[in-house]
Every structure is written in C-alpha cells, then in structure tokens.
Structure 1
Amino acid sequence: MGIAHTYIAQKKIETAAKKAGHNVKIETQGTIGIENPLTADEIAAADIVLLAADVKVTGEERFAGKKVVKVATETAVKSPNKLIEKLSEIVNS
C-alpha cells in the first residue's frame, strides 16, 4: 500500500469510529514523517491502540501495557466498520 492509503485508512477509521460513537486520534507515519503525533497523555487515556500499518511503526514501545491490535492498512481501508466493531469487542471483553 502506498502513501495515499495511509490517508485513506485514516479517513475510513475516523468515519467508522465516529459512526460507532467513539473518539479517535490518529497518528500517521509515512515518507514525510510523523503527523499528528500522539502525546503520552493521549496514549495513557486510550482504551486500545490500533496499528494499521504495513511497515514497522516508529515508537511502538510507547504502547507498552496497552491493548494493541495490529492490522494491515488494507484491512482498515476495506473493512473499517468491522474493524471498529472488533476493537469495541476487545475493549469490552
């Protein structure tokens, strides 16, 4: 998946999460660097961390102790509603 897919996935996840009544903050990492970086407070407050990526995520150690789900970017692009539903199930389990 290319750089455009990063932003497509971001939009799809934001839309699906909002539709399901969830708040999200999305940090993107691509060829132009990190955009919209997550703060330590935001990470601490998160119920779950989704890593929708096809390459190594920089700073993954920041999420130690959190529920972390890793999926391919394609999953976020093709099935964002199912993905958000699955994340909700994990949080509530």
Structure 2
Amino acid sequence: MFIVCVAACPTGVAHTYMAAEALEMTGKKRGHEVKVETQGSMGAENEILDEDLARADAVIIAADVAISGKERFAGMVKLECSVSDPIKFGDAVFEAVEQEVAHG
C-alpha cells in the first residue's frame, strides 16, 4: 500500500518530526510505502504532491492542530489521530488504516 501522511504539532518542532519518523519506520516495517509531509514552524516540508494523491491508498493525519490543505484528502480513506499516536502506538495506527482500506 502507498500511504500519505501529515504530521503536525502545536509548536511544529519535536513531536512533528518524531511522528514523521515513527510513521515512516512503522509503515516500512509493515511493508508499506509511506510519504510524510510535516507542517510546523518551518512551514510544510516534503509536501504531498498531486501525483502522490493520485496513487495513494489512504491518508493518516497525525495532528494536534489544524493542518493546511486538508481538503485535498476529500474522498480518501482517512485516519485522523493525535500526533503522539504514531510515536506510542504505531502498529495500531497502521492496523486501523489497513482495516479501513480492506473494508473500504
């Protein structure tokens, strides 16, 4: 599966990047291709492009603040969670999104 993700925390520093790393590592461990966009104090980095959206099976939004561009995920299988969830419960986050895709 190809899963796009957005990570964002209130200060846009530590937890944003910790969540991004956890999403990438857990996704890879579970056999997925993952692209993580971070939204933080430095703006958006590693932005999800239209071609990413066109081939994505699902999106994970791990954020404790409103994210920019949320409307681009309309109609997609989507899991929204706290920015700390991928750090603490990475496998559970991916299991939930895998179930959503499987049972669409």
Question: What TM-score do the two structures reach when normalised by structure 1?
Answer: 0.94
**Which runs of 5 or more structure 1 residues have no equivalent in the other structure?**
none
Cα RMSD (Å) of the superposition?
1.0
For residues 19-49 of structure 1, give each alpha carbon's deviation from its aligned partner in whole angstroms, at most 9, with x where no partner exists.
1100010000001100000101101211111
SS of the residue 1:27 aligns to:
strand
Q: Which amino acid letter does the alignment assign opposite residue 60 of structure 1?
A: K
Partners in 1 of 2:65 and 2:93 — Cα distance? 19
Give the number of the structure whose residues are more often strand, by fraction.
2
Identity across the alignment (%): 39
Partners in 1 of 2:42 and 2:79 — Cα distance? 24
Partners in 2 of 1:67 and 1:84 — Cα distance? 12
1:64 is displaced (CA, Å) by: 1.3
Partner of 2:75: 65
Partners in 2 of 1:58 and 1:29 — Cα distance? 8
Give the number of the structure whose residues are more often helix, by fraction.
1
1:59 is displaced (CA, Å) by: 0.5
Question: What TM-score do the two structures reach when normalised by structure 2?
Answer: 0.85
Structure 1 runs of 4+ with >3 Å offset = none
**Which runs of 5 or more structure 2 residues have no equivalent in the other structure?**
1-8
Partners in 2 of 1:90 and 1:19 — Cα distance? 19
Partner of 2:102: 92
Partner of 1:33: 43
Partners in 2 of 1:16 and 1:76 — Cα distance? 8
Partner of 1:17: 27
How many residue pairs get aligned? The number is 93
For residues 27-80 of structure 1, give each alpha carbon's deviation from its aligned partner in whole angstroms, at most 9, with x where no partner exists.
000011000001011012111111000000101111111112110001111101
